[in-house]
Structures are given as C-alpha cells and as structure tokens.
Amino acid sequence: MTYTLTTPLYYVNDKPHLGSAYTTLACDALARFQRLKGEPVLFITGCDEHGQKIQRTAEAAGLSPQAHCDAVSSQYRELWRRWQISNDRLIRTTDPRHRRIVEQFFARVEANGDIVEGRQQGWYCVACEEFKDDPASAEAPECPIHRRPLEWRDELNLFFRLSRYQQQIEALIAQPGFIQPSSRRNEVENFVRQGLRDFSISRVNLPWGIPVPGHDGHTFYVWFDALLGYITALLEEGDSPDLDQALARGWPAAVHVIGKDILRFHAVYWPAMLLSAGLPLPQRVFGHGFLTREGQKMGKSLGNVLDPEVLLERCGRDAVRWYLLRDIPFGEDGDFQQQRFIDLVNNDLANTIGNLLNRTSSMARRWFAEAVPPAGAGAQLNHPLAQAAQMAQTTVLAGLEQLDFRSAAEAALQLAIAANGYLNDQAPWSRMKQEGQAEQVGADLYAVLEAARIVALLLAPLLPDLSQRMLSQLGEAEADSGPGASADWTQRLHWGGLQSWAPLPEPSPVMARLELDEPL
C-alpha cells in the first residue's frame, strides 16, 4: 500500500517563509525514512491558489491573479529544488484537472443531501478566509491572528451539513493516534464538544476560484477547494481527471502534516467531507507548533523574519535541517536562537560526528595500508559499540515512525558520542606504540569506523547530504532516500557490514564549522 504523506498546500499570498520550510523539511525526512524502509511513497506538497486574499494581493501588485500565482508557486518549486526536497508531486489548485476533481467530489456530497442554501452573516477575515465569532456589536472588530479589521458580510451561501457528522467525528478524534500530538487532540475535542455547525462552502461575487456547478454566482470557498488538492495530486501525468482513478493512486493518506493553526480544517471539516462523499479517511493528522525567533513572534513589522533562502545560502542544508529537527520537539512550539544554532551545529556535526570519522579514518589509513583494518573482535555482536548501535537503531526507527525527529537525531548523536568515548578510552595512538598491540588496535578502529558507518546510515533521512559524505569517506555507497530509491537500508544497518581491507579514501572534513559574524 502506498505511503502517502502531505504538507499543507501553501497559500500563495506571499513568498515561502521559514514556517513552510520547517513543515516541508520534516515531511522530507519522513518520506526519506519510509523509502529507506522499502515503502512505496507518494510525498505531496503544493500551492493553494484561490480565494479573495489572492485576488486582492494580485490587484495590489498590478497583476492578474493567475500571473501572481504563477510567480509565487514558481518560488516554492525552486526553493524546494534548492533544498533538495524529495517530493513526488507539487500540485497547484489552478491546475485544470483539479477543477474536475472538485466538481466530481461536490456532486457526490450534494447527492448525499449535505449541501443546503442559507444566509451567512458575520464578521469575515479575508486574511484567514473565514468568518469569525466576534460579537456583531463590536465597533471595530479585528482578527485576533492577523490584527486586521474584519469585514461584515451578509450573503446567501451554500452550506455543508457538518452537524450531521457530530457523532462520527467524535468517534474519529477519539481514536488513538488519529490526531497527534495528544495536546492537539485535546484542542479538537474541545471544539467538537461545543457542537458542530454547518459551514459555508461557497462565496458570491468572487471571480477568482472554481465555480460551483449548478449554482450560478457561487464560487467554492477556498478551503473546500484546497483540501481536495491532496486527491488531485495523486493523479499521474497523463491521467484523466477522474476522482476514482486519483483515489486508486494512493488514497487514503497515511499522514497530513500541518501547522496547528489549520488543525480544525484537517481533523474535523475534511473527514466530514470525505464521509459525505463515501471516501476513506486519512490515517493520521499531525499538527506541529510555531517558530519564534529569539523569543519573539516573527513578523515583517519587527523585521525579524528568517528567510529560508538566506538560511540556505549562509548556513547550508545540513545545518538548518539539523537544528530544526534535532532541537525542536516536533509538535511543540520552537524558538530559533542564533547562538544555540551555531553551537549545536558545530558541537554535534563538526566536532562530535565529523571529527570522529576524520581522525579514525586517518589512523586506520596510516597503520593499515590506507584501508579498513581487520575486523577481529570489533565485528562481534557483543562488542559494546555494536550494542550501542543496536540501541540507537531501535530508537531512531521508533522515533521516525512517530515523527519524533528530535529523539531520532539525539540517538544517532549518542552513538557518535559513545564511539568517541570508546576511542578515547582505548587510545590506539598509545597502544600502537606497544609491541603486539596492532591486532587490538585494528579491532578497535574497525569498531569505531563501523559505528560511524551506522551513524551515517541513521542520519540518511535527517541529513541526506552529510550521510552521503560520511559514507563516501568510508568507501561505501550512499543511502539513496530519494524517489525510486532501492531499499537495502535496513539490511545495511546490521553490525559488521564494513569490509576489512576495503580501501579508505583520503579523509577531508565532512562538516565545516558554522561561522556567522552577523545576525541572519
């Protein structure tokens, strides 16, 4: 069965920001992990390109909405290419095939009696693309999220009968593991407990969107349209825009990974829509936290927004991936602190992991004919580093299954720390001077190099670039985790895979120290 995972479809009112990069990097690590395990993966990302906010943003820039969407979506595509994100699909909701999928899905929901006409009155936030519950008596209400004035709306809309699905949604969110982490589930339970209300799925007098079939003047509400992008994205090139054919390509999704601010749409509205259409539900919805910078919310007005392009240019892929995935518990809010970022990258990657491989390889080449030393006792499964490697492997695999990237990264790091400690305790530089100790030195160096090999393999989903450089320095093939990768990763994790007397390339630092003289 295909392992389908998705990022949100990012709203193209502005260029990509660190929050969207954070979600996408996490999904990339998960997709790479599943491929390395041998799972057929369909990793979906994309852009949500309809709605009044897009229309107004384009008008303000003197562009047509389509031209605006083309420009911003190309920025997303190029940024993910530069970050080497391994997505299989990048869907745009302006794709003509998407319109057909939306129409077919709507027909099923309408045939089920779940579409009714009603009057929508209330304060509307264009930035959020939703009505707010602020009291109508407020003189100048504003959106609590965007701090912008709300607009009063009074119009006839089409409504989805969400209230019909109260019991089914209650049962769904009560299922262990459907909403993660558990703190997110509590939020949704509180919302559902108040009683589900029918919600508007159309807007009137809005030309930028998909027209509702059979309802002149109505355009699909951006959320109804966008959520279906996950299904449109399943289509392969050359497929006709047929809903059943799309579903057969990889539905249901194994996991939707989203920011916590859009959890309600994915954990309540979306499942109810799917139930109405008689379609399978996603297996898991994971809502991660927000990023701040030095303890402050990031915003243009504060001038403290971290640009993912600048981060990439000045720091490189490995450094940013490591900090975001290793330091921030995925699911909780995180704070980007520049000094801690520098310290973690230098201490963990350049010193602990990089120096371990560099110095061990140098000694092995010097004393054992530029090759991997004879394994001896170093290849035995009861070797302390073999046992440490098994513990690390168990923790990494369990952590990645649960999107606990922090524990996975920490476990790989701890194996490198254990190998460094073992090397220091055995002190081969001293033993090699003693008569009759060459065999023991060889076994010790083999064990440390083998531990470094396991570290490199365990890092493959998290830091594919660094993993490749480490394996190359050991004379090993890379652990390919991109689309279409062959799956021998779990076999290669077995202790003792490094071949004695295999040539060792001349070492060079696999991770340069990070030096930032100015704020990012």
Q: What is the pLDDT of residues 174-188, one digit of tens each?
A: 999 999 998 899 989
Q: What is the mean pLDDT of residues 114-132?
A: 80
Residue from 476, 492, 491, 488 nearest 372 by CA: 476
Q: What single DSSP character describes residue 45?
A: E
Query: Residue 518 above 90 pLDDT?
Result: no
Taking the C-alpha atoms of residue 156 and residue 297, their distance in angstroms, rounded to an integer, is 37
| Beta bridge partner(s), residue 121 | 154
Domains of the chain as residue ranges with CATH = 3-288 (3.40.50.620), 338-492 (1.10.730.10)
Q: Which two tokens stand for residue 442?
A: 């060889």
Q: What is the pLDDT of residues 435-471, one digit of tens each?
A: 889 999 999 999 999 999 999 999 999 999 999 999 9
Q: Measure the CA dihedral 106/111/117/123, to 10°.
A: -40
pTM above 0.85, yes or no: yes
Taking the C-alpha atoms of residue 132 and residue 125, their distance in angstroms, rounded to an integer, is 7
Q: Which two tokens stand for residue 508?
A: 């060079």
Q: Please give the C-alpha separations between residue 128 and each of 170, 226, 246, 255, in angstroms, as whole numbers.
A: 25, 14, 29, 24
Q: What is the pLDDT of residues 47-100, one digit of tens each?
A: 999 998 899 999 999 999 999 999 999 999 999 999 999 999 999 999 999 999
Q: How confident is the model at residue 300 (pLDDT cuts 50, 70, 90)?
A: confident
Taking the C-alpha atoms of residue 196 and residue 189, their distance in angstroms, rounded to an integer, is 11
Residues near 115 by Cβ (< 8 Å), separated by ≥ 6?
106, 109, 158, 159, 160, 161, 201
Taking the C-alpha atoms of residue 475 and residue 506, their distance in angstroms, rounded to an integer, is 10
pLDDT at position 370 is 97
